[in-house]
Amino acid sequence: MPSLLWKADLNRGPVLVAAGRSADGRGDVAAALGSQVFVFAPEDGEYLPYAGVELNAPVTGLAPGPPGLIRENGEYFAASSAERIFLLGVRQGAAAVLAGSDPEPGAGFADVAAGDLDGDGRGEIVAAASGPGAIFVYRPEVEPGFSLDLVGIRVVSGTPRFVEIMERPGLTPAMAVAFEQQGKTGLALFFLTERGFEAGPVLEGLSFGITGLAAGNFTGRAGSELALGGPGGMIWLVGNGEKLEVIAVTDSLGTSVSALAASEGETSRLAAGTPEGYVFVFNYPVKKSPDLAFGVREGISGLAVLPRERVAAGTALGGVQVWSLAGGDPEKRYIVGPGDTLWSIAGRFGVTVDQILAVNQGIMNRDLILPGQIIRIPLPR
C-alpha cells in the first residue's frame, strides 16, 4: 500500500508541484504557492527545503526545466506568471531565478512545458497564452549569462489552457495544446522546424471540459499518448498518429480530475488527482481501472511523478506531500507550518503527542515548535 513519506504545509491556497530534471535523477520537488516557488531536496529519507524563490506575481504554471540544461549537481524548473516566463535553478544547495522573459502584458500565461523541440540538444520552454490565444516558445541561453530568448509565437484555435510535450520516435517532439472554443474543447499539435511553426493534427468539438493534460508512453504504441482529465472523473487517452483520436477511457475516479502527471521514460506511470482528495495511479500499460489509490484529506491541485516509486501531491489548502508507492516506510516527515502545534499535528496524523516526542529527542519543550522545523512522525500501528 502507498505510504506518506513527508508532508509540509506552506500556507493557504492551491499548490502546484513539479519534479526536477537532473543528471543524477535525485528527484527534487518544486512547489508553487501564490508568487513563491519552494524547492525540496530528498536527503536521508527527508525532503529538506531550500529558500523560497519570489516571482513577484502569482505562479500560473510549473514544469521540469529543459532537458538540454541538465548539468551535474543541478536541477531546473520552468515557471510562468500571467505576463512572464521564468527559468529556475537549484545549484550548490540554493534555489534561484536564473532568467526571466520580457513582460508580455495581456498574455495570460496559463501553463508551461519544456523539451527539446527542434532536436538541437538545447531545449525550449513553451507556454500557453490565453490572452492572445497563442503559444509562445522561449529558448534558454547560458552564455555569457542565463537569459530567455523568444523564438516565436503561434496563434492557435480558441483559448489555450494546457500545453504538453509529446515524444515521437525518430522525429522531433510535438507541442500538444488543449484549448477551448465556443463552448467546446479540443487538442492541436504543433512542431518547431527550421521554417518556424508547422501545424499537425487537430481533435475538435469535444463535449467535455479538459481539466488536466499529461503526455507519456501509456499503452505501448509507437510514440507517446495524451491523457486528458475531465468531468465525471474520467481520463481519455488520445493516440498520436496521423490523426488524434480517443483510444481509451478510464473508469470514473470521482466528480472530476483536478490534476494529471506522468513519469518520463520508455514506459510511463500516470497519476490523477481529484477535488475529493484522492490520488489514483495507473501503472504501464494504462488500463481502465487504477492500480493504486490513496487519500490525502485535501483536494488535489497539482501532481508530479518522482523517481524511486514516489508521487508528489500539491493540495488545494496549501500542502505538499510525497508518497511512496512501494509502501513499507517506518516514518513520515512533516515540516512545521505557521500555527501548528504538536497536538494539531498529532491529530492530523492519527498519533499521540507522546509518540511524536519519543522519536524526536531534540524537542525539549512540547509547547514550542517553530515553522520550518522538521518533525518525524511514527506510523500508527
CATH numbers and ranges of domains, the chain: 12-312 (2.130.10.10)
> What is the 3-state secondary structure of 192-229?
EECCEEEEEEEEEEECCCCCEEEEECCCCCCCCEEEEE
Most confident of 180-184, 269-273, 349-353: 269-273
DSSP SS3 for 362: coil
Rounded mean pLDDT of the chain? 91
| Mean pLDDT on 226-238 | 95
| Pairing of β 331-335 and β 3-9 | parallel
- Cα–Cα distance for residue pair 370/365, rounded to 1 Å: 11
Residue 11: band (very low, low, confident or very high) from pLDDT cuts 50, 70, 90 = confident
| Mean pLDDT on 170-188 | 93
194-225 pLDDT, tens digit per residue, is: 888 999 999 999 988 999 999 999 998 877 89
Of 105, 215, 237, nearest to 163 by C-alpha is 215
Residue 329: band (very low, low, confident or very high) from pLDDT cuts 50, 70, 90 = low
Of 299, 304, 343, nearest to 319 by C-alpha is 299
Given phi > 0 = left and psi -120 to 50 = alpha, else beta, which region is 330? alpha
Identify the pLDDT of residue 247: 93
Identify the pLDDT of residue 222: 74
DSSP SS3 for 259: strand
Distances (CA, A) of 283 to 263, 288, 292, 350, 372: 10, 11, 8, 29, 34
Which amino acid, one-letter code, is at 318?
G
Cβ atoms 281, 287 nearer than 8 A: no
More confident residue, 210 or 334: 210
More confident residue, 168 or 173: 173
339-355 pLDDT, tens digit per residue, is: 899 999 988 888 899 99
Q: Is it the case that residue 328 has pLDDT exceeding 70?
A: no
Most confident of 39-53, 200-214, 350-364: 200-214
Q: Is it the case that residue 71 has pLDDT exceeding 70?
A: no
- Cα–Cα distance for residue pair 381/374, rounded to 1 Å: 22
Identify the pLDDT of residue 73: 57
| Mean pLDDT on 119-147 | 92
| Mean pLDDT on 295-315 | 95
Which percentage of the chain shows pLDDT scores above 90? 66
